[in-house]
Structure 1
């Protein structure tokens, strides 16, 4: 399911981290920053109804991570020891990429930077992982289209 949770309708590819935080102030979830252990960038704790974002990240990383965790919150995802079911994590990554990447801006950046994923990510103010996730969506759509056409 890729339905856009109604809580997140106002978030677009141009929404900054600060704007996202301000919008989240009106939601029934607490958002805080902390120094998280290891490579953890963020987490949603369904029992405490809280999202934590690693404060040591860049604003671009925080922006992508916050949206990702808000998607977990909007779907009321539950984790086992901080680990989500593969399908749940795939949905959150997919929805994050679809919200944060404008298709026209992506095509322009793809042409401008000759497919260099890092440069595209910088241009679109997203992480490299979000670009990779978006590319996977494009490949899946192309495959689905070729199956219908062929």
Structure 2
């Protein structure tokens, strides 16, 4: 199975009519989606792996036209974005191979799968919760 690349995600954003900008976002926030402006802002300090995972995450928010984490639906929207990001970026077969190769070591597995630790932990939580059938 071929992995999703940043180019694929950028083309997806373009097809959705979204602008993707890099910006000096304050604090530790990696990315933001503004539905009113149909714009995704990515922190300009992200490495390639973080950029891939963050863009995928923000594209999920854009797909559902989420209004933001501060709304009463924010927790549900964020949970959905994290779940769909993990299921999009990690294939079951590659996860199984990485887990076997690295004996469950999360840092090495994340590096092997080219995802952040957060995305890997979200994928593991999906498996633990039995939510695997809900692939996007």
- TM (norm. structure 2) is 0.89
Displaced runs of 4 or more, over 4 A: 80-84
Gaps of 5+ in 2: 132-136
Alignment match of 1:62 (pick from 47, 51, 55): 51
Match of 2:127 in 1: 138
Q: State the shift of 1:17 in Å.
A: 1.2
- TM (norm. structure 1) is 0.81
2:10 is the alignment partner of 1:33: no
Q: State the shift of 1:13 in Å.
A: 6.2
SS of equivalent to 2:15? coil
Alignment of 1:1-150 (within 5 A): 14-79=3-68, 85-141=74-130
Q: In 2 relative to 1, CA 64–84 (structure 1 residues): closer, same or farther, beyond 3 Å?
A: farther
Q: Give the alignment's Cα RMSD to 1 decimal.
A: 2.0
Considering only CA atoms, is the larger Rg found in Structure 1 or Structure 2?
A: 1
Is the contact made by 1:13 and 1:99 (CA closer than 8 Å) also made in structure 2? no
Paired residue total:
131
